[in-house]
Structure formats: structure tokens, C-alpha cells
Structure 1
């Protein structure tokens, strides 16, 4: 399977998880169901497109290089270190999903340098921005909406980017 196809599948799976885990109150039951169904439908579309494409050799540089593992290690350290900082600042629990979106977004941006392909920066920037908005919201009366902004919207962004990149492959 091509490297880009693997990336699209990982992005779509992560996006679906973001949506399924974070869809809920304060959304109505109807909107929660719509978000979850949309997440599953987009994941199914990426899976269908990916597995219907003919096998092609990997064309993009990348893979599990030292640079890849460095980015993954930095991501893990940033995630867990950030959770500790948020706890020390007595941030509400909703801030955690915002922090995850920021870190996952930044790790995509870092992969631009590792894999020398700019397209991965698109979902990365979107997630980092949505995560940053969620972090700002965490200290306001809109805190209940953080999982929607930083979780559901981030997940849908990942799913849509994975779908578009699958179609363009």
C-alpha cells in the first residue's frame, strides 16, 4: 500500500475517533447523531476509495525514518507534559482535548520537514488553530463547547482532508 494511502487511513481513523469521542452535549441529541454518522460515513468513504485504488509504488518520501520517530517522541512528550501543565494551572478537563488537537496539529506540520510534502500541513494547521481556540475557550463560560470545537471540528477536518487527499491520489 502506498505511503500516502496509509497516511490517509491513519488521518481518517483518528478523525473518526475525535468525532465519536467528543460529539455530545452541548449539542442536541440530533446533532450528536448527525456528527457521529457523518464521521463514520467519511471514514467509510476513505476506506472504500483507498481499497478500490490500484496498488502503486510509494511515490512520496517518508516512512518510519529517524525523523519520523523523533516527531512521534516529541509528540508524546508534548502531550503528557502539556497535560501536567494544564493540571497545574487547574484547567478544566475540556482543555485536554484542545491540547491534543494542538499537539496532533503541530506534529502534522513537523512532518512537512520529515517527508518534504506540504499537503500534510493543511490538516495540521487546521487542528492547531482549532485546538488553540479551544484552549482559549477553556477559561471562559463557553468551556462546554471546547470538545465540539477542538474535538468534533478537528475530527471532521481530518476526515475531510483524508477524503480529498484520497480522491487526489
Structure 2
């Protein structure tokens, strides 16, 4: 199986989606959380095994611009994301003493980081994913601030973003944004 920027990005995104679901499904009753964990695991394994195949272009194409895709722009986005995560987690845990809000902050920051990736990779469709994740994170923060249950916050800011990340790994890349790989 050919590994390229597109496939690597899909696997990374799906890995984080799997993690979101696995980490947050424990807040739900076992009869709900266990099947969600199983479905997330199956979706991830299927993506790895079958590659989220969408025809030949999905397996052998990379976005316009070539290169490895993990250049300077990518690392700037990841560094900003890491700084925002750490700063927010310090405030949430040490100042606000609201550990149930952590998942909302993480989802929000991960969502916002997709706006930077959309620009760095010239992939405007990542704005949709970023907006969805950021909205889930903001809703999770609002739920945590209003005293909602941990299960409600984990579902909105953890499980739903995980499903979005896993599902997005199966979206076909637009044909206009790909060029054949010369290997």
C-alpha cells in the first residue's frame, strides 16, 4: 500500500478520532460506551487495512504542491496547537478547577488547528472539519460551565469529534486538489 501525504494525514486524523472515542466512551454507561469503542476501533482498522479506498486516485494521489506535506507550515500549526493546549489546560485545571472542561478545550483547539492546516496544505475542505470540531469543543465547554454531566460533555466534546475525525478519514479528496505521485 502506498503511503503518501494524503494517506498519512488520514491515518493521523483517524488515530486521533479513535483516541477521542476511546478516551471519552468511559464516561457513558457500558452498554453504550463499549459498542462505541468497538465501532471506532473497527472504523480505524478498516481504514488502515482498506485505506479508505475511493478509487485509484485516492490511493496514489497527493495534494497539489508535492513534498512530504509536513513542512514548515505544518509544524507552525502544530506548535501553536501545542501551546494553546498547554496554556488552556493550565488555566482549566489550576485556575478554574474544572477538569470536566478539558475535553471541550482539547476539541476546540484541535478544531481550530484544522483552519491552519487548511491554509498550510491548501485544503479548504479542512475548514468544514475544523468548524465541526471547534463547535463541538465550544459546546462541550458551555456544557461543562453550565454544570452538565460528565457523560454529556464527553459525548458532545469527545465522542462526536472522534466520530467526525474518523468519518473525515473516509471523505474522498477533491479531484482538483490532487496530482499524481511520480514514484
Note whether the superposition's TM-score is higher than 0.5.
yes
**Match of residue 163, structure 1, among 152, 170, 177:** 170
Listed as ranges, the matches of 1:130-149 within 5 Å are: 130-144=136-150, 145-149=152-156
Indicate the residue corresponding to 2:45 in structure 1. 44
Post-superposition offset of 1:88: 4.3
CA distance in 1, matches of 2:145, 2:10: 34
> For structure 2, which runs of at least 5 residues remain unmatched after alignment?
179-183
Residue 110, structure 1, aligned to residue 111, structure 2? no
Contact 1:45 1:163 in 2 (8 A): no
Q: Deviations over 1:101-134 (max 9, x none)?
A: 0111111111111111112222211110000000
Indicate the residue corresponding to 1:31 in structure 2. 32
Contact 2:114 2:130 in 1 (8 A): yes
Q: In the superposition, relative to structure 1, how do residues 139 and 91 fare at CA in structure 2: closer, same or farther (>3 Å)?
A: farther
Indicate the residue corresponding to 1:129 in structure 2. 135
Equivalent pairs counted in the alignment come to 167
Q: What TM-score results when the alignment is normalised by the length of structure 1?
A: 0.89
The more displaced of 139-148 and 32-41 is 139-148
Residue 58, structure 1, aligned to residue 59, structure 2? no
Let me know the Cα RMSD of the aligned residues: 2.1
CA distance in 2, matches of 1:4, 1:24: 31
Post-superposition offset of 1:51: 8.0
CA distance in 2, matches of 1:64, 1:41: 27
CA distance in 1, matches of 2:128, 2:33: 26
Indicate the residue corresponding to 2:181 in structure 1. none
Q: In the superposition, relative to structure 1, how do residues 85 and 159 fare at CA in structure 2: closer, same or farther (>3 Å)?
A: same
Listed as ranges, the matches of 1:7-22 within 5 Å are: 7-22=9-24
Post-superposition offset of 1:89: 3.7
Runs of 4+, deviation exceeding 4 Å: 51-55
CA distance in 2, matches of 1:153, 1:51: 20
CA distance in 2, matches of 1:15, 1:51: 15
